Amino acid sequence: MRPMNLKLFKEADSEQLLWLSLVIVAVVVIVGTLGYSFIEGWSLFDSMYMTIITLTTIGYGEIHQLDRAGRIFTIVLIIFGVGTVAFAVRNAAKLMIEGELGAIFGRKKLEQKIKDLKDHYIVCGFGRMGRLISRELARKPVPFVVIEKDASLIQEEDWEKHLFITGDADKDETLVKAGIERAKGLITVVSTDADNLYIVLTARGLSPDLYIVARAGEDGSEKKLRRAGANKVISPYLIGADRMAQAVLRPNVVDFIEFATQSENLDLKMEEVTINKGSALSGLALKQSGIRQDLGIIIVAIKRADGRMDFNPSPVSVIHEGDCLIALGQPDRLRMLEDITKGK
């Protein structure tokens, strides 16, 4: 059974209606049981049995002789109770026939998956950019959840690939539902700069240490988004224009960068690797680490823990805990370097 489809978050009213019907049926059964017990003086078991066969209209007959008051109570129970039971059965049948029952359980399963996420990313918006970002995150792979207000943008196959929440990403309850208090970062690429600004403000208020990347579409939006709390602001138009200009001015450089940064490339890849606590590389100079000699990896730069960027570091440059190595090499060798830097 596939738990995800386009109805995944649309069945809330049906689910509530079903639970309301079941609660009403339970109340009617309790009232009927207590009523027979009080009016006729029967045991609770006999009273409940009489209530059940009355509500289900089985028609076995009275288990004990009813007096006038008991018969009046039975009439009232039939009038109100039988209709309630029929209403509950109709709602349950509707859920099962239309497949909504599977969607309910699917939503519960999805919510549990999101609750289990830790150190994940939240992608706000599933338009053209959000779709490409999700594809790259899934290819890495890293855990993430997508928030999209317009469910029509999410296709059937998308539900099977990613975790989704439909709702407004600028609302506290939506971000909390996405596990923002446990998240590592947030990327907001919704349609307007104003919406991105509200999302950044809301996310920063909920998680002061969260790493936030926001898209800027208009001139002047970058400063506003940074003031709102975004760590990084990306303007696709500026990046696209610069890349097109560089493709004319420095075509070979652009070709090399594209070759090294394409995630599907199997020969060469550029990656960033953080030196974690307890790593065997911590405190060693580059020439002592064996990164170049043993793994054949080139360290293009080292971003120090204090934010300084050391480009083209010398062989005597010392690697410290918290540093980030900008490395160029074969994907399998880079994975070996990541294993070394993980520490104990």
Tens of pLDDT, residues 145-165: 999 998 888 887 888 789 999
> Does 17 have pLDDT greater than 80?
no
pLDDT tens digits, 86-138: 877 777 776 666 555 555 566 677 788 888 999 999 999 999 999 999 998 99
CA pair distance 230, 244, nearest whole angstrom: 27
Of residues 70 and 314, the one with the higher pLDDT is 314
Q: Exposed, middle or buried by CB within 10 Å (0-12, 13-18, 19+), for 140?
A: exposed
Confidence class for position 343, pLDDT limits 50, 70, 90: low
CATH value of 117-238 in 3.10.129.10, 3.40.50.720, 3.40.50.300, 3.30.70.20: 3.40.50.720
Residues 6+ apart with CB under 8 A from 256: none
Residue 318 confidence (pLDDT): 93
Q: Which of 53-62, 78-87, 128-137, 218-227 has the lowest mean pLDDT?
A: 53-62
> Does 62 have pLDDT greater than 80?
no
CA pair distance 210, 82, nearest whole angstrom: 55
Domain 266-341 sits in CATH 1.10.3470.10? no
Backbone φ, ψ for residue 230 (5° rounding): -75, 135
CA pair distance 191, 168, nearest whole angstrom: 12
Of residues 104 and 276, the one with the higher pLDDT is 276
Decide if 228 contacts 197 (C-beta within 8 A).
yes
Secondary structure class of 329 (helix, strand, coil):
strand
Regarding beta strands 211-215 and 185-188, do their DSSP bridges make them parallel or antiparallel, or are they unpaired? Answer: parallel
Confidence class for position 173, pLDDT limits 50, 70, 90: very high
Decide if 88 contacts 22 (C-beta within 8 A).
yes
Of residues 268 and 204, the one with the higher pLDDT is 204
Confidence class for position 238, pLDDT limits 50, 70, 90: confident
Please report, rounded to a whole number, the percentage of residues in the chain having pLDDT higher than 90.
Answer: 38
15-19, 164-168, 217-221 — most confident range: 164-168
Backbone φ, ψ for residue 62 (5° rounding): -75, 130
Mean pLDDT (whole number) for 285-297? 91
CA dihedral (53, 55, 56, 61) positive or negative: positive
CA pair distance 263, 331, nearest whole angstrom: 9
pLDDT tens digits, 247-261: 899 898 888 777 777
Confidence class for position 263, pLDDT limits 50, 70, 90: low
Residue 1 confidence (pLDDT): 34
Domain 12-102 sits in CATH 1.10.287.70? yes
Would you state the structure tokens that stand for residue 232, as one six-digit string?
Answer: 């990084």
Q: Which of 184-193, 207-216, 256-265 has the lowest mean pLDDT?
A: 256-265
Nearest to 271 by CA among 287, 248, 249, 291: 291
> Does 68 have pLDDT greater than 80?
yes
> Does 8 have pLDDT greater than 60?
no
Backbone φ, ψ for residue 33 (5° rounding): -60, -50
Strand order in the sheet with 298-303: 269-274, 324-329, 298-303, 309-311
Q: How confident is the prediction for the chain on average, in pLDDT? A: 85
CA pair distance 178, 307, nearest whole angstrom: 30
Annotated domain spans of the chain: 12-102, 117-238, 266-341
Residues 6+ apart with CB under 8 A from 181: 206, 207
